[in-house]
Amino acid sequence: MSLPSITDIVFNVLIYGIFSYSVLLLLSYIFIGLFSIGETHSYLYKNSFTDYRLLAASPHAPSVSILAPAYNEGKTIIENVRSLLSIYYSNLEVIILNDGSKDDSLEKLIDAFDLKKVHFYVNYQIPTKEVRGVYKSRNPVYSKLVIVDKVNGGKADALNVGVNIATHDYLVCIDVDCILEQDALLKMVKPFLEETDKKVIASGGVVRIANSCIIEDGKLIKVKIPQKYLPRMQSLEYIRAFILGRMAWSRLNGLMLISGAFGAFDKEIVIKAGGYNHNTVGEDMELVVRMRRYLEEKKEKYRVTYIPDPLCWTEAPD
């Protein structure tokens, strides 16, 4: 075979290979897009006249512990905690996990919320770094608030401490600097109440970029497109990833990732799966995979659900 004909074949293989890959990739995106549209439509129809308020006040609503790890967040910690305490849900506790901050976060919290150190028996169901102290407020207005001061061990370790300390049935893990929509928690908890033959083990929602948005007193007032190029591109990527990809995977019950910025979990399954792994950077995905594996091994039916509503807003680096 002559050299030109070999070159011809190589080029043709390359061209057709790239073309086939592109076609397959695009078809898979179209397939995922169609699935996502179907699932989003179904969600919108089902919730078109849902009154979430009754869940907030119902004595039969499940109990929820919010876990918010904080490391050197002194500048904004007070405002962020106030924002979390303003969430409208009766059966709630808010656990702030001070992960050995080197700044004055803890002192600021003690002053702002009139905290006192209490004796707290920590049951180390998941091994973690040492807890230095647990604080509760003297003011009954802040009775939902629990502040945990622990030795620095990273986000995963802080969340595991939260799992050990939480007294409620469901865990909502969030980044302390996130801004939640007013009904975010209610929307997040609802899928757990809708389970029938399949146990709902985790639930996630859309996280959006808050750059350039108008925020007052820890509440989102007006949504705006980020002005700078980089956050704007991230905004687009977030929408693609959260609405297009995850919605479709949720419909296929193949969702492997609940965002670490805002996700809800069944506490019992989290503990049985061994909690967060602090030897990985993708601890949120790793936990969901392990929870799924635990239930697969138990041969129990389960679901990881996803909500296409924007529930949580976060600042992106610019």
Interface residues with another protein (CB under 8 A)?
Answer: 5, 8-9, 12-13, 15-16, 19, 23, 26, 30, 45-46, 48-49, 51, 54-55, 58, 60-62, 118-121, 123, 190, 192-197, 268
Please identify, using beta-carbon distances, which residue of 225 and 256 lies nearer to another protein: 225
Q: How far is the CB of 207 from another protein (least distance, A)?
A: 24
Residue 291, φ and ψ in degrees, nearest 5: -65, -40
Q: How far is the CB of 269 from another protein (least distance, A)?
A: 12
Contact between residue 113 and residue 142 where contact means Cβ atoms under 8 Å apart: yes
Please identify, using beta-carbon distances, which residue of 8 and 111 lies nearer to another protein: 8
Q: How far is the CB of 149 from another protein (least distance, A)?
A: 16
Please identify, using beta-carbon distances, which residue of 4 and 317 lies nearer to another protein: 4
Please identify, using beta-carbon distances, which residue of 82 and 129 lies nearer to another protein: 129
Q: How far is the CB of 160 from another protein (least distance, A)?
A: 16
Hey, CA dihedral for 70, 76, 168, 255, is it positive or negative?
negative
First-last CA distance in the chain: 56
Q: How far is the CB of 25 from another protein (least distance, A)?
A: 11
Measured between alpha carbons, how far is 11 from 6 in angstroms, rounded to an integer?
A: 9
DSSP string across the chain:
--HHHHHHHHHHHHHHHHHHHHHHHHHHHHHHHHHHHHHHHHHHHHTTT--THHHHH-TTSPPEEEEEEESS-TTTHHHHHHHHHT---SSEEEEEEEES-SSSHHHHHHHHHTEEEE------SS--SPEEEEEEESSGGGTTEEEEEE----HHHHHHHHHHH--SSEEEEE-TT-EE-TTHHHHHHHHHHT-SSSEEEEEEEEEEE-TT-EEETTEEEE----SSHHHHHHHHHHHIIIIIIHHHHHHTT------TTEEEEEHHHHHHHT---TT-S-HHHHHHHHHHHHHHHHT--EEEEEEEEEEEEEPPP-
Please identify, using beta-carbon distances, which residue of 71 and 294 lies nearer to another protein: 294
Please identify, using beta-carbon distances, which residue of 102 and 116 lies nearer to another protein: 116
Q: How far is the CB of 58 from another protein (least distance, A)?
A: 5
Please identify, using beta-carbon distances, which residue of 30 and 151 lies nearer to another protein: 30
Q: How far is the CB of 78 from another protein (least distance, A)?
A: 25
Please identify, using beta-carbon distances, which residue of 60 and 222 lies nearer to another protein: 60
Our measurement of the distance from residue 140's CA atom to the centroid of its chain's CA atoms, rounded to an integer in Å, reads: 29
Q: How far is the CB of 75 from another protein (least distance, A)?
A: 32
